[in-house]
Every structure is written in C-alpha cells, then in structure tokens.
C-alpha cells in the first residue's frame, strides 16, 4: 500500500507549483466554472476544512457545518493563498499522522465515518486537482503512480458514484448491463453494473440519478480497457475515454454515470 501522507504532500506541492505558473484568471479546462485562482482557493479550503474536522473531533453534520462556517477567509492574491495552502496542508497531514484509520471522525459519506475515509479521499482530491492545475498551466499532466491510480478507480466506483446509496430512502435500480473495467497494468478487472439512484431528498425533491455499483458475479456485455491512470483520469473527468468495446447500450449507461462528473 502506498504512503498516503507522502502522496498528499507531493501532489499538493506539484499542484501549487503548477497553479502559480498559470494565469490566475485562466479558466480550468477540466473545471470550467473555476479560474486558476479559484482552483487554488478550493484546495486550500478543502485542506483547512478536513484539518479542523479531525482536530475538533467532529462527529455530526452540525459539527461539520459549524466548522465550514468558521473556515479561513480567502487571502488577496494567489501568492498569499499558496502560503495558506501549504500551512493548511501541514495541519491536515499532522492530524492524519496522529490517527489510525479506524478512529471515528465525521465524513460526508454516511456509511464510513472514519479517519481512513478522509485519508483516502484526500489522496484522490490532491491528485485530480494537481491534474487540473497542470492543465490550466498548459502542461502535460505528470503521470499518476499506478497503485494510486488503481485505488482511484475503486474510489470512484465505490464512493463517488455510489454515495446516493448512503442517503435514507434511496434505492439503486440496476440496469441489465454489466461492464468490465480492465486495468491493463494492474492485471485487474473491475465489474460494474450501471443503473439509477432513485429517492426523495430531505427537501422533498425527487431524484433519479445515474449510478453504478461494483459486482463480482455476472458476465460483462461490454468493456472499457486501459492503464490504471487512463481509467482513473477518465472516471474522474480528467482524461479521454479508454478503449471501449461491446454492447453500446451498456457502454452508454456507464458513460452517463461518468458524465455526471466529479469535482
């Protein structure tokens, strides 16, 4: 298993170096609602938030909301924001390093309220935003460590596309399709079943959203194949679609999930 602390620190440093080389007003190609300056502030806020969640012992939604409201103010200019990013990254890693994965801690993923969830999530947050920073700076993204990328594929499937299932009253309505995600460099195949998450939110609004679940016991009718990095970047909306073959309806169902996007 890779060293999560090392990955978060290395990727954050790459992020900062790249984003500071970009025009602060440039639009981020992979997150067009943000400028480079906005992207820098986003990751700064993320690290500040999770450092405070862990330091405070937050256990409830009310705790997390209070911490979010008391977060740091946005500095003037990207240089000052980068200084704050590095300080908040140090604070986050200090909190992670003094805790074990099994320790309880609030997260937005209702079925995993542990430090381990935050540790894993922040690896992939840092990796993907580092790619965003390199793209807005006009650079070719640095390769992702294959082990990190393979974990990113699983995190996308099991968490980012499945979080609807942690909400009360939501159910997964599977399609008839099964798609194989083949990680060529890891000699691993992940089977997914696309479908729809349906339910009614706390506000009373009805939802019908694309989703997929990992499965183990059904034969695939289509497949997407590439390196761990190619599949990781595509699933997270940071790269082109890998090689695809098989039933087009099955592929389109997975594409609909991917197109919903991950920030």
Task: Please say whether the beta carbons of 24 and 65 come within 8 A.
Answer: no
Name residue, tokens 């209070």: 66
Angstrom distance (rounded) from CA 190 to CA 46: 29
Task: Please say whether the beta carbons of 189 and 237 come within 8 A.
Answer: no
Stretch(es) of the chain classified as CATH 1.20.120.450: 4-136
Q: Are strands 188-200 and 179-183 parallel, antiparallel or unpaired?
A: antiparallel
Stretch(es) of the chain classified as CATH 3.30.1050: 146-259
Tokens coding 112: 């995993």
Burial class (CB in 10 A: 0-12, 13-18, 19+), 52: buried
Tokens coding 212: 């997929």
Tokens coding 36: 């480079």
CATH superfamily placement of domain 4-136: dinb family like domain (1.20.120.450)
Average pLDDT, the chain: 96
Q: 54-111, pLDDT tens digit by residue?
A: 999 999 999 999 999 998 999 999 999 999 999 999 999 999 999 999 999 999 999 9
Task: Please say whether the beta carbons of 174 and 229 come within 8 A.
Answer: no
Tokens coding 172: 């997964």
pLDDT at 168 over 80: yes
pLDDT at 263 over 70: no
Among the CATH numbers 1.10.760, 3.30.1890, 3.90.79, 3.30.1050, which is that of 146-259?
Answer: 3.30.1050
Q: 20-66, pLDDT tens digit by residue?
A: 999 999 999 999 999 999 999 999 999 999 999 999 999 999 999 99
- The band of 261, judged by pLDDT with boundaries at 50, 70 and 90, is confident
């Amino acid at each position: 298993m890779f060293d999560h602390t090392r990955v978060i620190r290395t990727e954050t440093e790459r992020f900062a170096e790249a984003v500071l080389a970009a025009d602060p007003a440039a639009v981020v190609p992979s997150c067009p609602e943000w400028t480079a300056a906005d992207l820098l502030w986003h990751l700064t806020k993320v690290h500040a938030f999770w450092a405070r969640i862990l330091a405070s012992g937050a256990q409830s939604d009310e705790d997390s909301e209070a911490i979010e409201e008391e977060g740091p103010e946005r500095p003037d200019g990207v240089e000052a924001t980068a200084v704050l990013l590095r300080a908040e990254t140090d604070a986050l890693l200090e909190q992670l390093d003094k805790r074990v994965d099994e320790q309880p801690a609030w997260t937005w993923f209702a079925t995993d309220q542990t430090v381990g969830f935050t540790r894993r999530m922040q690896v992939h947050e840092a990796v993907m935003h580092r790619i965003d920073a390199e793209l807005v700076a006009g650079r070719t993204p640095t390769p992702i460590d294959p082990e990190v990328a393979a974990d990113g594929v699983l995190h996308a499937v099991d968490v980012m596309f499945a979080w609807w299932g942690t909400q009360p009253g939501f159910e997964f309505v599977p399609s008839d399709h099964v798609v194989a995600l083949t990680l060529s460099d890891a000699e691993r195949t992940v089977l997914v079943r696309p479908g729809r998450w349906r339910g009614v939110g706390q506000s009373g609004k009805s939802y019908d959203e694309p989703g997929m679940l990992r499965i183990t016991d059904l034969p695939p009718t289509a497949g997407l194949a590439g390196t761990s990095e190619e599949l990781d970047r595509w699933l997270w909306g940071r790269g082109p679609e890998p090689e695809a073959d098989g039933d087009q309806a099955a592929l389109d169902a997975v594409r609909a999930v991917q197109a919903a996007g991950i920030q």
